Amino acid sequence: MMSMILRRLAISLVILLVVSMLVFVATLLLPGDPAQAILGQQATPERLAALREQMDLNDPVWQRYLTWLGGLFVGDFGVSAASGGSVGELLGERIAASLVLMGAAALISVPAGVVVGTYSAIRRGKAGDHAATGISLVLAALPEFVIGIALVTVFSTTVFSILPSVTMAPPGENVWDYPAQLILPVLTLVLVVMPYIIRMMRATMIEVLDSGHVEMARLKGVPERQVILRHALPHAVAPVAQVVAIQLAWLAGGIVVVEFLFRYPGVGQALVDAVTNRDVQVVQALSMLIAVLYIVVNLLADVVGILTNPKLRTEGAR
Amino acid sequence: MSIIESQPTTPEESPGTVAREVETPPGLFRRMLRQKQAKIGIAMTGAVVLVAVIGPLLLPWATGYTSTEFSGRPFQPDGVFGTDNLGRDILSRFLDGGLRLLIYAALATGLGMILGSAAGMLAAYQGGTLDSIIMRGNDVLLALPQLVFALLAITVLGPQGWVLVTVIGITHAPRIARVTRSAASAVITEDFVRAAEMYAVPRWKILAKDVLPNITGPLMVELGLRMTYSIAAIASLSFLGLGLQPPTAGWGLMINENRIALTVQPWGVILPVLAIAVLTVGSNLITDSLARASATVEESK
């Protein structure tokens, strides 16, 4: 089993390396010269040449790739073409802000999804189940910005105006000092992520509740509450953990739209700005950052899957 | 359609099993249509598609304005739903903005289905090195979230229609390929594929004539799912200001342009949001019932 996990880890590293090449090659396709982009049209040829030398643009491609990749490891993400400042400085605080948003969304949606899914499975075919299934089917279809706008319309503008619809923290202060501003972005993410967890939880629980060992527990007189908590729930953990991980990984990309919608000063907002300005260095750094997060979470999901699946424990590596 | 209708009647039926043939379940689509939620889904999707398709034709008659003509009177209650941030008629832009979204989404989905199902079937049929190359390539493409991949492409190539369609199609492909591969690998062990191989039927012909018709169930489900995601992706990118570019009318873009004035002139946001919501929920309902129909067909085999 250990070797399977190690194998999976190695695959992840290789994938990450290939992704980094892909991301790097993307910049080479860009028409124009990064030095020109930073200095503008009026730059003198001498200054251009100096900056090109400074940015190592004269080196061969593979050497630039290695320099860039090495820079990623020591936190040197290059220079932003739009602002001229260091990319790393630009991102530092934003990463923390985005992690707060994602963390809060995960902390709410996972337990809530598990509870609603279990409830739905227990009351299968009843009104509560129909409501939960129907609502999650609808929510699963909606793009995140539609959910976000609907929430803004209802809670902060037209119907009730009780919650702020944009995030505005004074410079130097942290976004999480203003919890009211976090409610709508977090709620949007929760509503996007939860339906998948509910559906998977419900499907798995129904399967488990129909299985022999649960029936056995019921027949020997175990109280229903204990049947569900002790006999049924543990068996649903593995498949649901997979879905939870996929959803958490999805959050890495999903925050882009939500942060843009609520003007939340996080990584996603920075990414949209950078794409709008065609600020390649920043887009590269952020893409790599999100890819790392995505791959790590997926890796964790697989590890949980391997650890909790008794079949995989003995089958050995495929 | 005829291919899909005949899907559940598996080729293993011999003349001797007439009794069983009578009990053969109806086709995938009829099974789907029996479900109430499929009907609701079709009605919802149909309504929005109708608006999107007929909308542009109705413009002169319904509003008298084109979608890009502006009067310079922003956020006025002129016309049925008022004017937008540049004084353009909201109803005109709404009627004109849907078709482009639908066409782009359909093209992206189509591209993804072709690439994905071809790669998936090839991987399943060929096995060995080609299989692992295709599947490892998938893993790499799957390592970036779809939206981030699209943003990377837009940074380099600019926000143009073909870039959107291509990049969303390509990011769909690995997901479709996985489903296709697992569905196809169950089919390629069947005797009729062996038989075709013995007659030296070319590989592409085996895949197209023998394998493809037998995996339409999962592929149709995948088609519905990817269509929903394509609509969401293109609308989201336009909403970020990185998809359709002004002055083009597009539902995602309209939301982006008008959301600053949600309190003054909510229709500019509400109309496109409602349309996208009804469209995606409708197509998701259809997909869900397709999945159920496909699952029951599988069971009855």
Q: Is A70 on the interface with B (CB under 8 A)?
A: no
A149 contacts B255? CB cut-off 8 A:
yes
Q: Assess: ipTM above 0.85.
A: no
pTM: 0.82
Give a yes or no: residue A82 inside a domain. no
Cis peptide before B145, with omega less than 30 degrees from 0?
A: no
* CATH assignment of the domain containing A253: 1.10.3720.10
Give a yes or no: residue A150 inside a domain. no
The residues of chain B scoring below 70 in pLDDT are 1-26, 60-80, 297-301
A291 contacts B143? CB cut-off 8 A:
yes
* CATH assignment of the domain containing B184: 1.10.3720.10
Give a yes or no: residue A12 inside a domain. no
B232 contacts A143? CB cut-off 8 A:
yes
Mean pLDDT in residue range A157-186: 70
A218 vs B115: CA distance, rounded Å: 50
Give how many domains chain B has, as a whole number.
Answer: 1
What residues have CB less than 8 Å from B197, skipping those under 6 apart? B206
A272 contacts B242? CB cut-off 8 A:
yes
Q: Which one, of B139, B141, B138, B140, lies nearest residue B120 by Cα?
A: B138
CA distance B140 to chain A (A): 5
Mean pLDDT in residue range A232-245: 78
Structural domain that includes position A106: 94-145+190-317
Report pLDDT digits (tens) over A67-76.
777 777 776 6
* pLDDT score recorded for residue B19: 47
Give contacts of B283 with chain A, Cβ < 8 Å: 141
* Pair A62, A223: CB distance under 8 Å: no
Residue with the bigger pLDDT between B215 and A55: it is B215
* pLDDT score recorded for residue A58: 67
H runs (alpha helix) in chain A: 2-28, 34-39, 45-54, 61-73, 87-122, 127-141, 144-152, 179-209, 212-219, 224-226, 233-262, 267-276, 280-308, 310-315
Mean pLDDT in residue range A43-51: 74
Q: Which one, of B74, B165, B162, B155, lies nearest residue B114 by Cα?
A: B165
Mean pLDDT in residue range A233-253: 79
* pLDDT score recorded for residue B106: 93
Residue with the bigger pLDDT between A302 and A309: it is A302
- What is the distance between the terminal CA atoms of chain B, rounded to a whole angstrom? 20
* Pair A43, A37: CB distance under 8 Å: no
Report pLDDT digits (tens) over A83-125.
666 777 777 778 888 888 888 888 999 899 888 988 888 888 8
Give a yes or no: residue A181 inside a domain. no
- Hey, which residues 247-266 in chain A have their CB within 8 Å of chain B? 249-250, 252-254, 256-257, 260-261
Give a yes or no: residue A206 inside a domain. yes
A40 pLDDT tier (thresholds 50, 70, 90): low
* Pair B250, B101: CB distance under 8 Å: yes
Give a yes or no: residue B177 inside a domain. yes
Q: Is B110 on the interface with A (CB under 8 A)?
A: no
* Pair A302, A293: CB distance under 8 Å: no
A317 has pLDDT over 50: no
Q: What's the CA dihedral at B142, A287, A264, A197 to 10 degrees?
A: 20
Q: Which residue has the tokens 């007659």?
A: B199
CA distance A145 to chain B (A): 7
Give a yes or no: residue A156 inside a domain. no
* Pair A55, A71: CB distance under 8 Å: no
Q: Is A274 on the interface with B (CB under 8 A)?
A: yes
Q: Is B133 on the interface with A (CB under 8 A)?
A: no
Give how many domains chain A has, as a whole number.
Answer: 1
* pLDDT score recorded for residue B92: 79
B35 vs B26: CA distance, rounded Å: 13
A299 pLDDT tier (thresholds 50, 70, 90): confident
**Any bridge partners for residue A86, and if so which?**
A79
- φ/ψ (deg, to 5) at B228: -60, -45
Structural domain that includes position B108: 28-300
Of A157, A276, A291, nearest to B242 by CB-CB distance is A276
B135 vs A165: CA distance, rounded Å: 43
User: What is the identity of the amino acid at A191?
Assistant: L
Q: Is A119 on the interface with B (CB under 8 A)?
A: no
* pLDDT score recorded for residue B18: 47
A316 pLDDT tier (thresholds 50, 70, 90): very low
Q: Is B166 on the interface with A (CB under 8 A)?
A: no
Residue with the bigger pLDDT between A235 and B280: it is B280
Report pLDDT digits (tens) over A258-276.
888 888 888 888 888 888 8
CA distance A199 to chain B (A): 12
Give a yes or no: residue A297 inside a domain. yes
Task: Give me the DSSP letters along chain B.
Answer: -HHHHTTTS-TT--GGGHHHHHTPPPPHHHHHHTSHHHHHHHHHHHHHHHHHHHHHHHHHHHTSS-SS-B-S-TT---TTT-B-TTSBBHHHHHHHHHHHHHHHHHHHHHHHHHHHHHHHHHHHHH-HHHHHHHHHHHHHHHTS-HHHHHHHHHHHH-S-HHHHHHHHHHHHHHHHHHHHHHHHHHHTTSHHHHHHHHTT--HHHIIIIIIGGGGHHHHHHHHHHHHHHHHHHHHHHHHTTSSSPTTS--HHHHHHHHGGGTTT-THHHHHHHHHHHHHHHHHHHHHHHHHHHHHHHHHH-
Residue with the bigger pLDDT between A59 and B140: it is B140
Give a yes or no: residue A168 inside a domain. no
Q: Which one, of B100, B74, B89, B70, lies nearest residue B245 by Cα?
A: B100
A283 contacts B151? CB cut-off 8 A:
yes
**CA A88 → CA A76, A101, A296, B149, distances in Å?**
6, 20, 21, 21
A16 contacts B277? CB cut-off 8 A:
no
Give a yes or no: residue B15 inside a domain. no
* pLDDT score recorded for residue B79: 67
* pLDDT score recorded for residue A98: 85
Give a yes or no: residue B277 inside a domain. yes
Mean pLDDT in residue range A163-167: 68
